[in-house]
Structure formats: C-alpha cells, structure tokens
Structure 1
Amino acid sequence: MKACQKPVIQLKGVCKSYGQHAVLKNIDLEVHAGDVLAIVGPSGSGKSTLLRCINYLEPPDAGLVSVNGLALNGGVAPERQQLFTLRRSLGMVFQSFNLFPHLSVLRNVSLPQERVLKRSRADANRISMQLLERVGLADKAQQFPVRCSGGQQQRIAIARALALDPKVMLFDEPTSALDPELGLEVLSVMRQLAESGMTMIVVTHEMGFAENVSDHAMIMADGQVIEYGPSRDVIRSPTSERAKRFLRAVNER
C-alpha cells in the first residue's frame, strides 16, 4: 500500500520569500513512488518556485525538503555532496529546452551521462538511442537542435533528463512555449511515462492532463495550497471558493 510506504518526495512547512514578498507559505506535500501529481493555479502562485525548491535551484528559507530519503533543512546551506545526491534523484524539464545548440541531438543526451554518471561514450550513446527511440526521435540523432521543432526539442530534453536515471521527474510547464499541436507530442510522451510508473510532479496549464493522467492534483494560489486530492475530484468538484474561481476562469477562456 502506498500509504504505508515512505514518500519519495516530502515537504514540511516549506517557505520561500524574495525580500518582503512571500512566494511559498508553509507548503506540506507528499508524493509516493509511481504517483503523478499535477500542480495548477494562477500565474504568480508559486508553482514553479516550488519545483525549484525541491531540487534546490532555489533554496527554501525554512521547512524540510526530503527527496528519496535525503532530508535538507531550509535556511541551512547544504553540503556539495548532499546537493549532488539530491539532484541525482531528480530529472528536470523546463519551459525552455536548454539544449546545447552546437551539439547534435545524440550528444545533447549522451554528454550529461558521461559527465555525471561516468558512462563511456559507447554506453551513453546506446542508452541515448534507446531513449530517443522511446520519444520517437531516433531519426533525429545526428541533427542539431535548431533543425528540430519546438515539440521535438522538448522531447529531446525529456530524453536527456531520463538518461540520468532519476527517481522523480519534475516538469515546469513543459508545453507552455509550444503551439497546441506540438504540445500534444510532448503530452503524449509524458502520458507514456506516467503509464510506465515514473513518479512525476508536473506544473501545467493543461487541465485535461491534470484531470485524466495525474493521480492527484494540487491547486496553488498566493503561495499556498488551496486544494489537494484525487485529480478528478479537484478539477471537477473543488471545495474552496478561490479554487472554483480559478477553474471557472480556465474553463471560460
């Protein structure tokens, strides 16, 4: 039973401020192995900052962040080895693709494996080709990213993150910079990942994905969690007035 398992991701009382502006206010969260959590909410609600606090791209000011058994306390500078261990457990896909334009698609996926996991070039290339096949882009291996569409570049970024064998994949609005058709390509890969049992936290504005693919959904507003529960319940039947207002605005666009 998942309820009896220790969560892969656990946050307790996580806070983050920029000057006088509190971006995250006492966030509590648990994500178990194999779960897919969708985080939705209005712009400026703290969704992306929450992801960046999980992987310590933005160190939290207070609270506990625990990833795959490694616990870090906000406000206390982590040791370099702790950060390395934390980030080895996490794959991150951003809104922008962050690919190296001067490297081929294959090298974009292989190079991090060689640098981080110390794989040989032959082993890294073999794994990279398997992952490019998985995301439907094996035929683009020798191309440069500029010759690929935005949707293809985002799928390459997903393959690159998966190549480092993460325990959890974090997605920060991966389709927001794409037109609807290209976004569907990326969502299809993410759906396949979810079906394969990958643990995922997805900040998204794709309400269909949130409702139909994720196990749980969380609505954030003003740096707080205002709704959390099984995805269909949260999306279809929110209980708080703020969540109802947000979802009504989404549906009426």
Structure 2
Amino acid sequence: MRLAIVTCVRRRQQKRREKSLTAREKPFVKLEHVGKAYGSHVVLSDINLSVFAGDVLAIIGPSGSGKSTLLRCINFIESPDDGIVTVGDVTLQGGRPLPRRELAQLRRQLGMVFQSFNLFPHMTVLRNVTMPQQRVLGRSKREADEVAMQLLERVGLADKAAQYPIRCSGGQQQRIAIARALALEPKVMLFDEPTSALDPELGLEVLGVMRELAKSGMTMIVVTHEMSFAENVSDHVAVMADGAITEYGPSREVIRDPQSIRGKRFLRAVNER
C-alpha cells in the first residue's frame, strides 16, 4: 500500500515537472510574420519574435525603424495588417476583424508604459492608480486604494499619493505610470522608451524600478536606447532597422559583438556619440 502511494506521488511530481517544462518551451508572447504599413510606407516587415515567461527582451535600433509600432501591434493599439500575435492562450490574426472578447483578454495580460507619462492631470497620484483598477477590474475603492498604496510604496512614491502629477518630476511621473500599469496585474510589461523624455538622473530612477521588476520575474519587452540596461538587465536583444529585425540573440553577445552590418553601424554610432 505504501509503495503504491509513493509511486502515485512520484507520478504527480513527474507530471508537474513535465507541465513546467512544456510551459517553458512555449513562448508567452509570440509574433509570427507580423507586418504593418501606412499606405505605401512599410513600417513592419515579416516580424517573428518569441518571448518566454520571466524573460526581458530589449529592442534597440535607430529612430524610425518601427520599434514603437511593434509594441503597439502587440497590444493592438495599432492593428497589424497581417501575421499572428499570441499572448498567453490568446491568439489574434492581423488584417481581420477583431473579436472583442479575445482582444480584451489579450490586452488584459499587457501593461504599457509610454514615452509620455499619460497621467490624468486633474486626478491625484493615488486616483491615477486606483481609477483603472475600479473600471477594469471592478475593485472596490478600498481595495484599489490598498493596492495603489502598495505599488506607490514599491516605486518609492507613497508620500506623493495626495499630490497632483504636475507637482511631481518627470521621473516620478514615469514611476507613477509604471505603478498604474502594474495595478492591473499584467503578465507582460511593454515599455516604449520610458526614459527618453527624462534627463540622465531622472532616467536612473525609472531604470531602477525596471531592474527591480526584472529581478522579480516580470516578463518585459523594452524599446530602449539605454545600452547598459539592454546589456546587463535584458536576456535577449533584437536590433531593428527599416521595419525588420536585423539581429537577435543573447544581450551581451549582440551588444558587444554584433554580427549584422546594420547592428554594427548602429552600435558604433551609439558608442561614439
């Protein structure tokens, strides 16, 4: 009898290991042949990417290469003209009418932080973080307030809860925007050059929060010009140019020894600036 119980336990443990391995082998975010054009201007061409749960992908490249559009196509702020976008168990086809329920399920798993902070100026910092929770998740005011204060504490801004965004620095506003996105409990965070509008010191505040998120295991896709972050925090780097991915690989290898001509040219320009 005891042998049977031990065997049963071992089988359950093996099944859990197999399930964990299967989950790891399946990307959480997957783009297949994604394309986007505005009239005759092709912005994205045949984009293929896979990001696993817990990984950080940094997307680098010259301005106008399609990096921001790629992020916006992942959450369908911009609808791809063709290709397939999968986030978790939700798959949407570009170039077709979007099922509202599936679109909502996809966006529910994604949080996004933009270059501009996009905070509501007429609301306090606390209300900026609580209002989306109440509208999207149906949380009570008490529950939303509790979550918001925990997140503001996490990003070092609990003392700003009663202030209005205009009374906060740019770095503080961006950290508030991160707290607001995290309040909706996303599985993946998308960052669109979150430090580009900030001076170096304020940018360090935001990068510190992002490093903490990466250490906590948050899946992240980050469009950035911060090469130190790309090399030392992200797991992989994708180099984009002219709407295409010209190089992809482990972060340190790509940053220190790019293989593509376009990657070499871009990183040389960054290093010599």
TM-score bracket for the superposition, by shorter chain length: over 0.9
User: Match of 2:228?
Assistant: 208
173 and 103 in structure 1: CA distance in 2 versus 1, 3 angstrom threshold: same
* 5+ long unaligned stretches in structure 1: none
Is residue 66–residue 242 contact of structure 2 (8 Å, CA) maintained in 1? yes
For the structure 1 residues 152 and 27, does the alpha-carbon distance in structure 2 shift closer, same or farther, using more than 3 Å as the test? Answer: same
**Post-superposition, which runs of at least 4 consecutive aligned residues in structure 1 deviate over 3 A?**
1-4
TM-score by structure 1 length?
Answer: 0.99
Q: Distance in 1 between matches of 2:216 and 2:262?
A: 34
Which of 51, 55, 60 pairs up with 1:35?
55
Where in structure 2 are the equivalents of 1:211-250 lying within 5 Å? 211-250=231-270
Match of 1:159 in 2: 179
Within 2, Cα distance between the matches of 1:113 and 1:3? 29
The answer to whether the 8 Å contact 2:92/2:103 transfers is no
Distance across 1 between alignment mates of 2:240 and 2:22: 24
Q: What's 1:146 paired with?
A: 166
Identity %: 72
1:50 pairs with one of 70, 76, 84: 70
Establish whether residue 107 from structure 1 lines up as the match of residue 127 from structure 2: yes
Separation in structure 1 between the aligned mates of residue 230 and residue 160 of structure 2, nearest angstrom: 30
* Structure 1 residue 4: Cα displacement: 4.5
Aligned partners of 1:151 and 1:182 also within 8 Å: yes
TM-score (norm 2): 0.91
Q: Quote the Cα distance in structure 1 between the aligned partners of 2:187 and 2:89.
A: 11
Query: Residue 179 in 1 paired to residue 190 in 2?
Result: no
Residues 135-170 of structure 1: CA deviation (Å, up to 9, x unaligned): 000000000000000000000000000000000000
Residue 74 of structure 1, CA deviation = 0.7
In the alignment, is residue 11 of structure 1 matched against residue 31 of structure 2?
A: yes
The root-mean-square deviation of aligned C-alpha atoms, in Å, is: 1.0
For structure 2, the 5+ residue unaligned runs are: 1-20
**Deviation readout 1:198-226 (Å, 9 max, x if unpaired):** 00000000000000000000100000101
**CA separation in 2, counterparts of 1:201 and 1:219?**
13
Distance in 2 between residues matched to 1:2 and 1:181, nearest whole Å:
42
Higher helix share: 2
Write the letter of the residue equivalent to 1:75: G
Aligned residues: 253
Counterpart of 1:40, as a letter, is: I
Q: Give yes or no for contact 2:29–2:87 (8 Å, CA) kept in 1.
A: yes
> Looking at CA atoms only, which structure, 1 or 2, has the larger radius of gyration?
2
DSSP-derived class of the 2:46 partner? strand
- Give the CA deviation at 1:242: 1.1
